[in-house]
Structure 1
Amino acid sequence: MTSTAKCRIAVFILLCATMPAHAGTCADGIAQTQAQLDLAIEKDAGSHGWKPESLSALRSHQPTPGSLAKAEGDNGIGFTDALASLDRARTADRSGDLAACNLEIAQARAVLK
């Protein structure tokens, strides 16, 4: 085996060793729950009829799931709590705390039921 081939193999091994491991993360659960929550917020936002435009809408700001949940007032309280849980789940996932991440996902999914 030539030294060039050995060097390429060594570089490949080093690159593989430095790649983040996704097997233990809960990123898929967060993404799935976020999608379900977004659909629930959209469905709920359209079910209460027309409301006056907010100042943000008049300034051409694009709506976010959080702003839609806040606009619903009392109806959106559970949704804002679920969005906060997903933010905490992302933080726990980045720090590698799988148990806390799964707990926050479960709390966000409880709002959807």
Structure 2
Amino acid sequence: MTSIAKCRAALFVLLCATMPAHAGSCTDDIAQTQAQLDLAIEKDAGSHGWKPESLNALRNHQPTPRSLAESEGNNGVGFTDALDSLDRARTADSTGDIAACSREIARARAVLR
């Protein structure tokens, strides 16, 4: 093997090793948006006064951000849409589609405004 071929092989291996670092570039934005959305859902859930316990609460199921948003009815519609956008962002991030990931994060953040 010539030195040029060895150099090309080493460069190829180096480039392949750096690809996983670029694959999850939306991960931090997703986590930050999820945390902000969770806080907004909790704040909204407590602002409408007391309601009867749901069947899931009576069965000792722990609440999730999605279940809290869904329990708010029409008040939580925007939150469920934002959670759906974050799910799509995670899917896009896992496939490496950074543009779609960023677009879905922007949709989720629009609900927070």
Would you say same fold, with TM above 0.5?
yes
Q: CA deviation at 1:21?
A: 1.0
Amino acid at match of 2:97: D
C-alpha separation in 2, matches of 1:102 and 1:41: 22
Specify every segment of 5 or more residues in structure 1 that has no aligned partner in the other structure, as ranges: 1-12
**Equivalent residue pairs, number:** 100
- 1:67 maps to what in 2? 67
C-alpha separation in 1, matches of 2:17 and 2:100: 26
Q: Do residues 52 (structure 1) and 60 (structure 2) align? A: no
What do you get for the CA RMSD once the two structures are aligned?
Answer: 2.0
- 2:4 maps to what in 1? none
Q: Do residues 80 (structure 1) and 41 (structure 2) align? A: no
Using structure 2 for the length normalisation, give the TM-score: 0.82
Specify every segment of 5 or more residues in structure 2 that has no aligned partner in the other structure, as ranges: 1-12
Q: CA deviation at 1:110?
A: 0.2
Give matches, 1:1-113, under 5 Å. 17=17, 20-22=20-22, 25-113=25-113
Following superposition, which runs of at least 4 residues in structure 1 exceed 4 angstroms of deviation? none
In percent, how many aligned pairs have the same letter?
Answer: 81
Q: CA deviation at 1:25?
A: 1.6
Taking a change above 3 Å as real, the CA distance of residues 88 and 28 of structure 1, as seen in their structure-2 partners, is same
SS in 2 for 1:52: coil
